[in-house]
Amino acid sequence: ARGLVGHSDADAVAHALSDAVLGAAGLEDLGQVAPDDDPRWKDADSLSLLAEVVALALTAGWRPVNADCTLVAERPMLAPHVPSMRQRLSGALGAPVNVKSTRSEGLGALGRGEGIACHAVVLLSSTSP
């Protein structure tokens, strides 16, 4: 059966965005915040995890301003889902999130449809005066 496998719900975009927030805030990576051997995160909703990551960033003195995500996948075709993805991710991040998709055009494992990748960047602003 095709599909993504993960300890949580395997939402690659939410995970990439979570790691981008953690990295920009100078915090631990997602594997340390939500390790895959911790039963708390088994089948967890990645949007809830993203909201928790944002709370960690806020506690560390950083708030999200905006983010940009590029999802690389041969299939499924994601364009019809992008508006909903933007809305849900923006809600969890508390800031605008741009989402776009592209293909690997048949190159490598991604091009063969053996997986997907997501690149995410986030702009944070200090909450300190």
What was the pLDDT predicted at 91? Answer: 97
Q: Does residue 4 carry a pLDDT above 50?
A: no
What was the pLDDT predicted at 1? Answer: 45
CATH fold of the domain at 12-126: 60s Ribosomal Protein L30; Chain: A; (3.30.1330)
CA 120 to chain centre: 7
What's the pLDDT band for 10 if we cut at 50, 70, 90?
low
- Are 101 and 78 a contacting pair, CB within 8 Å? yes
Q: Does residue 6 carry a pLDDT above 60?
A: no
What's the mean per-residue pLDDT of the chain? Answer: 88
How far is Cα 13 from Cα 85, in angstroms, rounded to an integer? 9
The tens digit of pLDDT for each residue in 33-83 reads 888 888 887 778 899 999 999 999 999 999 999 999 999 988 777 888 899
CA 36 to chain centre: 16
1, 86, 102, 127 from 106: Cα distances, Å: 20, 26, 12, 44
Q: Does residue 5 carry a pLDDT above 50?
A: no
Q: Which two tokens stand for residue 42?
A: 């088994």
